[in-house]
Every structure is written in C-alpha cells, then in structure tokens.
Amino acid sequence: MMYRIINNLVDSNARSVLIPAGVHTRGNANCYIVPLTTVNAYQFTFFPTGIRLWNALPEQVDTFTSIDVFKAMMGELYN
C-alpha cells in the first residue's frame, strides 16, 4: 500500500503525513520522516509502521516501474 500511496496510485491525502527525510546516507533514497507519536496506540498504526518498513527497503525500490514489478522484487528479496 505504501508503494501505491507514494506513487499516487490511490486517492489519498497522505502527503501531509509523508514528509521526505532529505538525507540519503544509507538504504532507500526515498525515505520519509516517521511521525513522532506520544500514544502507543498510534505508534503501531499504518503510517508510522508503513514508513518504518518503507525506509528499511533497499534503495532499488525507486527503480520499480509498476506495482507488479514491486511485488515480484519484494518476493525475491524476502523469500
């Protein structure tokens, strides 16, 4: 779902939550700032968890041209 949101494949106003990190030292160059949470209930919801997982992906995710390619590559990387 994060791939779809980031690549504007779904109608979502998530851009207010997805703030680019701007620093590309390691990992995915398309990283986002994880929202600060003060409540544990929010810490484990979709956006904070999804952003943490997205940021942990290898940098090559930026080169995937479609959702099908993304799914296939994730299957190869994590199986």
Please state the domain extents for the chain: 2-78
pLDDT at residue 64 in the model: 86
* Confidence (pLDDT) at 7: 87
- Residue 63 has what pLDDT? 78
Angle at 30 between CA 62 and CA 70, to 5 degrees: 35
Q: Under 8 Å CB-to-CB from 78, ≥6 apart: which residues?
A: none
Across-strand partners of 30?
none
- Eight-class DSSP state of 72: H
pLDDT tens by residue, the chain, 79 residues: 899 998 888 888 887 888 888 765 565 668 899 988 888 888 888 999 999 999 988 888 877 889 999 999 889 888 7
Per-residue model confidence (pLDDT) at position 32: 92
Average model confidence (pLDDT) for the chain?
Answer: 85
